[in-house]
Amino acid sequence: MTSSHQNRICRSLLSQYDPYILDIYKSEMGYGVDRFFLLSYCLACCWSGLGAKSNLRIVKQWSEMKFVFPNEEAQQAALANRFYVPGNSVPIDVDVHHRKGPAKSRIFVTIPRFDEGRPVTLGTVDEEGLVSGYPDYSWHDNQGNNCDGLTSVFRVAIDKCDRLWVMDSGKIGEKAVCPPQLLAFDLKTDQLVYKHRPNPSSYIATSLFITPVVDVRGHDCSDTFVYVADVSGFGLLVVDVINDRSWRVTHRLMYPYPSHGTFTIDGESFDLMDGVLGMALSPYKPGLDRYLYFHALASTSENVVRTSVLRNDSFIADSNANPYSVNVFPQERPNQSAAEAMDSNGILYFGLMEPPGIWCWNSGTEFSTNNFHQIAINRETLQFSSGIKVVKNLKGEEELWLLTSSFQRVMTGSISSDRINFRIHAEKIPLLLENSACRQPAKGDYIGKHADRISPQIKKYMFKYGAVAFL
C-alpha cells in the first residue's frame, strides 16, 4: 500500500469518524490484536511524529489510571473514604479474551492494592482507557470488608476453556484482611463457576499469592490444576480443581537471591527481595509430562520442574520438594526478569531490566545468552514487564501481550502524571518471530526425546538441550 493510499484511508476515517465505516475496516483488519489498533494505525501512518516503527504495538497507555463508577454517588463515596486516590493505582498484569461474533474482545488488567486508593483491583479496559470493575463494581467496593468480594489481585490467567482464573491475595498492603482465594469466572456468562480457599496449612503469615498458571489436562476442562506463585512465602500453591483441594510446595530455588535484590531502571534504584514470580508452562502434549519454568524476581536464574512432581499430593503432609526434582539451568540471564510466558511451540518470552526489552528463548536449545534473541528494546516504553501473556485470537494465531510500567518510579515515590507511566503492548507472534533465530529448529526436543527414561527424583541421565537436560 502506497503512502498516499494510506493517507487517503486515514483522512477518510479521522475526518468522518463514522462508526459504521470503522466497523468495516475493523472486520477487514482481523479478529485479534487488530481490533484494538485501528485508530493508532491511522495516526502512525499519517503523522510521522507519532509513528516510530516498533516490533510491538502500543494498544493502550496511561499517565494515571481512571475508572468507571456506577454513578456519581459511588465515586464521591470512594473519594471520601480514600478508596479512590487519583494517581495511586498501578496496573500489574494484562490478559485478553477474544470473543466470537459481534461482541468486542476484552482487555483485562489487574491493579493490586499495595495500599489505599485503588477503587478496582480487576477490571476491563474500554476504548477510552477507562477501567470498569469485573465482573462488576460491587465485587470491589468492599475494600476488604466483604471477603466474598475481591480484595487484591496481582495476576490472572485465561485458559482454553474460556475461564478467567483470578488469584485474590486477600491482602491490602502488608495486612491480611481476608483469606486468599482462587476464583474462576465463565467468560461466556461472567458468572463465578469455581471458588477455592486454601487451607491455612498451605500458606504462612508472609505468603502473597501473585501469579497463577493453569494446567488443563487434556480435553476435559474439569481436569485442571492451577499453580500459584507465593512471592514472599517462597513457595508454590498447587490447586487440584476437580477434587477441590490444594497443597504447598517449597524448594530453595523459589527463594530470592540477596545479590540480585537491587534493581536499577532508567537511572533509579530500589531494593525488592521477591521470590518466585515469573512462571510459564510448556505446551500440552497428550500422554507426556509438562514442565513448569519459573524464577524468582530477585534472581538471574531460570528453574524447571515436572508438573507430575507438583501434582503429587504427598506435599499435603510435607511441603518440601525432593532436592533433585526441581532444577536450575547452569547458565543465567544477564540481569533480573519479571513475568514470562511460553507459546505453543515451546518458545519462552521474558523481559529484562537492562537493556529494557523483550526477549525470546527456544526451549529446545540450551538456556544461554547465546540463545536469547531480542524482540523489542525501548528504554522508555519497556522498562518493567510485569505482565506477559500468549493469547490465541479467533483466527488461531498466537499473539504476545504485555503490560509495562515505570515501576522504579512507583517504588521510589517519584512517579508523576506528567508523563506516560503504564502501557499495554501487543503483536502477532509470527510477525515478531518472522526473522528471529528463536524459530530455527532446535537440536533437541523441548520436552525431551528421552523423557520416559528420566526419573523425576534422581538425575540419572544428562542431555545437553531443553528441560530434560536438568531433570
Q: Is residue 462 part of a domain?
A: no
Return the pLDDT at 268.
93
**What is the C-alpha separation between 341 and 169, in angstroms, rounded?**
21
The count of other CB atoms within 10 Å of the CB of residue 20 is: 7
Same domain, 37 and 75: no
Q: What is the pLDDT of residue 220?
A: 86
Please tell me the predicted confidence (pLDDT) of residue 453: 34
Check residue 443 and give its pLDDT.
Answer: 58
Q: What is the pLDDT of residue 441?
A: 64
Q: At what angle do helices 38-46 and 19-29 cross, to 10 degrees?
A: 90
Return d(Cα 138, Cα 312) in angstroms, integer.
38
Q: What is the pLDDT of residue 432?
A: 96
Asked if residue 456 is part of any domain, the answer here is no
pLDDT of residue 31: 59
Considering the domain architecture, whether residues 7 and 90 belong to the same structural domain is answered as no
Domain stop point among 53, 71, 93: 53
Is the model's pTM score more than 0.85? yes
Residue 59 lies in a domain: yes
pLDDT at 38: 52
Identity at 441, one-letter amino acid code: P
Q: Is residue 454 part of a domain?
A: no
Please check whether residues 214 and 324 belong to one and the same domain.
yes
Query: Same structural domain for residues 234 and 266?
Result: yes
Q: Are residues 307 and 323 in the same domain?
A: yes
- Predicted confidence at residue 372, as pLDDT, reads 97
CATH number of the domain to which 324 belongs: 2.120.10.30
pLDDT in tens, the chain (471 residues): 444 554 454 444 444 444 443 444 444 444 577 666 554 444 334 433 333 345 899 999 999 999 999 999 999 999 999 999 999 999 999 999 999 888 899 999 999 999 999 999 999 999 999 999 999 999 998 888 999 999 999 999 999 999 999 999 999 999 999 999 999 999 999 999 999 999 999 999 999 999 999 999 978 899 999 999 999 999 999 999 999 999 999 999 999 999 999 999 999 999 999 999 999 999 999 888 999 999 999 999 999 999 999 999 999 999 999 999 999 999 999 999 999 999 999 999 999 999 999 999 999 999 999 999 999 999 999 999 999 999 999 999 999 999 999 999 999 999 999 999 999 999 999 999 998 999 876 555 544 443 443 344 444 334 344 444 444
The DSSP 8-state label assigned to residue 36 in this structure reads G
Indicate if 39 and 149 belong to the same structural domain: no
pLDDT score recorded for residue 144:
85
The answer to the question of residue 40 being in a domain is yes
User: What integer pLDDT is reported at residue 95 of this predicted model?
Assistant: 98
Q: Are residues 70 and 121 in the same domain?
A: yes
Q: Which residue has the cell 532436592?
A: 323
Query: Is 61 in the same domain as 44?
Result: no
**Range(s) of the domain holding residue 308:** 54-442
pLDDT at position 8 is: 52
- pLDDT at residue 448 in the model: 44
Structure-block grid coordinates of residue 357: 526489552
- Examine residue 449 and state whether it is found in any structural domain, yes or no: no
Tell me if 67 is assigned to some domain.
Answer: yes
- Residues 75, 2, single domain; the answer is no
What is the domain count for the chain? 2
In a domain, 192, yes or no: yes
Task: Give the C-alpha separation, 48 to 10, whole Å.
Answer: 13
Checking 22-31 for CB contacts under 8 A at 24+ apart, the result is 30/393, 30/395, 31/98, 31/393, 31/394, 31/395
User: Is residue 37 domain-shared with residue 174, that is, in the same domain?
Assistant: no
Residues 207, 217 share a domain: yes
Q: Does one domain contain both 146 and 180? A: yes
**Spatial separation of the C-alpha atoms in residues 409 and 414, rounded to whole Å:** 5
